[in-house]
């Protein structure tokens, strides 16, 4: 286990959508899910992503964009299209028949003649990602509103073929596409983070460090063990002093501060379960009693575990 795997464990594609549309300009697609992450891979053609704040990003064939979609956003053939009469569609991955006004995959093809006389197509694979709990929030804080990874358009051909196969084979097709897009998201994030080099978050850079990496792996494999600095130094096969110094240099915090923060993130997940008492959560995350756990939680989160649990219930009560 590593930090990225831990953070991604709370994010899953669900109800992913495969679109293959041939659209006559001007056109727009409105993404309405408000999902934590939406991934759009352009197989052919292109378009312009326009976020709720008005910022825009151009996508071309071979580009994969991962969007933090807390607000609806658009993909248009050009940005100017949004202000002119156009054919508009709405896409939602989380509701039955989430296309409107017509299912793009079944829309009547309308060809756009290019300068060479060949038809121009826009072909997309789209996945929206639900989140369970709060573990993923550290990952989202490390990402920009839109991140784009470019690849050779020919490399995307396998994804289009896999999507087509999934649609044709009805048994398990949705599960197949969801897991395929989970895999694609992991690959995209790994590629983007690797490209950031020294700008990548500390929890990612630390995995490549020969001293810090083994300790991070140990923490994430067994986050509830009562680790000491000496224990973690032994995992890295270095002295306690060298380990503590190197960890702080790379991660920007002490080993025990990192461990405590990660435990609190796990505790938030456990506190969301109303069947677990605070004392049970404290024991699970490595504290000997509820008092020490509650003090640490309040110091880092600004509220007691009970108060935090109450805030989790408020949105549910508002919907009732």
DSSP 131-179: E-SSTTHHHHHHS-SEEEEE--GGGGHHHHHHHHHHHHS-TTHHHHHHH
Q: What region does 180 belong to: left with phi over 0, alpha with psi -120 to 50, or beta?
A: alpha
Question: Where is mean pLDDT largest: 131-135, 251-255, 259-263?
Answer: 251-255
* Pair 255, 243: CB distance under 8 Å: yes
Which tops the pLDDT comparison, 304 or 18?
304
Tally helices (H) and strands (E) across the chain.
12, 14
3-state secondary structure of 17: strand
Residue 82 preceded by cis peptide, ω within 30: no
Measure Cα distances from 1 to 7, 136, 250, 269, 281 in Å. 10, 15, 19, 18, 22
Specify the pLDDT at position 104: 41
Strand 37-44 vs strand 122-131: parallel, antiparallel, or unpaired?
A: antiparallel
Mean of pLDDT values over 197-226: 91
pTM attached to this predicted model: 0.76
- For the four alpha carbons of 247, 248, 254 and 257, in that order, the dihedral sign comes to negative
Q: CA geometry: angle at 243 spanning 242 and 249, to 5°? A: 90
Give which of 17, 25, 170, 175 is closest to 98, Cα–Cα.
17
Predicted local distance difference test score (pLDDT) of residue 296? 93
Structure confidence at residue 33 (pLDDT): 82
Per-residue confidence (pLDDT) for residue 319, from 0 to 100:
39
Stretch 63-84: mean pLDDT: 89
pLDDT for the residue numbered 116: 39
Q: What's the rounded Cα separation, in Å, for the pair 264 and 8?
A: 17
Task: Note the pLDDT of residue 118.
Answer: 42
Element of type H or E holding 249: helix 240-251
Q: Could you give the CA distance from residue 185 to residue 142 in angstroms, rounded to a whole number?
A: 15
Query: What is the tens place of the pLDDT at every residue in 256-298?
Result: 999 999 899 889 989 988 899 999 999 999 898 899 999 999 9
The C-alpha atoms of residue 166 and residue 95 are separated, in whole angstroms, by 19
Residues 294 and 282 sit within 8 Å (Cβ to Cβ): yes
Residue 206 has a CB neighbour count (10 Å cut-off) of: 23
Higher pLDDT, 16 or 7: 7
Would the pLDDT of 117 be above 70?
no
Confidence grade of residue 57 (pLDDT, cut at 50, 70, 90): very high
Cα–Cα distances in angstroms (integers) from residue 224 to residues 70, 272, 304, in the given order = 32, 18, 20
Task: Give SS3 for 248.
Answer: helix
- Beta strands 17-21 and 46-50 are unpaired
What mean pLDDT comes out for the span 181-206?
Answer: 88
User: How many beta carbons lie within 10 A of that of residue 305, not counting itself?
Assistant: 24
For residue 314, the model assigns a pLDDT of 59
The two three-digit tokens of residue 288, written as one number: 């000997």
Torsion of CA 198, 202, 207, 209, to 10 degrees: 60
Q: With beta carbons less than 8 A apart as the criterion, state whether 81 and 62 touch.
A: no
* Residue 119 pLDDT greater than 60, yes or no: no
Distance CA 111, CA 226 (A): 64
What does the CA dihedral 264, 270, 271, 275 come to, rounded to 10 degrees? -160
Predicted local distance difference test score (pLDDT) of residue 22: 62
């Amino acid at each position: 286990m590593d930090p990225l795997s831990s953070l991604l464990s709370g994010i899953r594609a669900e109800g992913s959508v495969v679109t293959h549309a041939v659209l006559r300009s001007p056109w727009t697609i409105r993404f309405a899910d408000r999902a934590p992450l939406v991934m759009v891979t352009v197989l052919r053609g292109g378009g312009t992503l326009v976020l709720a704040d008005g910022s825009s990003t151009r996508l071309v064939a071979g580009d994969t964009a991962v969007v933090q979609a807390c607000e609806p956003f658009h993909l248009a053939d050009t940005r100017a299209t949004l202000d002119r009469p156009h054919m508009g569609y709405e896409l939602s991955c989380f509701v039955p028949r989430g296309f409107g006004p017509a299912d793009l995959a079944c829309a009547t093809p309308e060809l756009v003649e290019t300068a060479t006389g060949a038809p121009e197509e826009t072909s997309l694979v789209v996945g929206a990602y639900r989140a369970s709990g709060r573990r993923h929030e550290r990952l989202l804080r490390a990402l920009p509103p839109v991140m784009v990874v470019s690849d050779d358009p020919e490399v995307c051909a396998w994804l289009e073929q896999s999507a087509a196969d999934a649609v044709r084979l009805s048994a398990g097709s949705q599960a197949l596409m969801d897991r395929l897009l989970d895999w694609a998201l992991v690959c995209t994030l790994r590629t983007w983070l690797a490209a950031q080099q020294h700008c990548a978050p500390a929890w990612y850079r630390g995995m490549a460090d020969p001293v810090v990496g083994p300790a991070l792996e140990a923490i994430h494999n067994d986050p509830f063990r009562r680790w000491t600095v000496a224990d973690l130094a032994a995992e890295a096969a270095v002295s306690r002093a060298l380990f503590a110094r190197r960890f702080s240099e790379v991660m920007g915090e002490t080993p025990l501060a990192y461990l405590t923060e990660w435990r609190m993130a796990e505790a938030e997940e456990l506190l969301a379960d109303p069947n677990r008492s605070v004392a049970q959560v404290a024991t699970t995350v490595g504290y000997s009693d509820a008092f020490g756990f509650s003090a640490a939680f309040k110091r880092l989160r600004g509220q007691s575990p009970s108060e935090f649990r109450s805030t989790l219930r408020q949105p549910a009560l508002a919907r009732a």
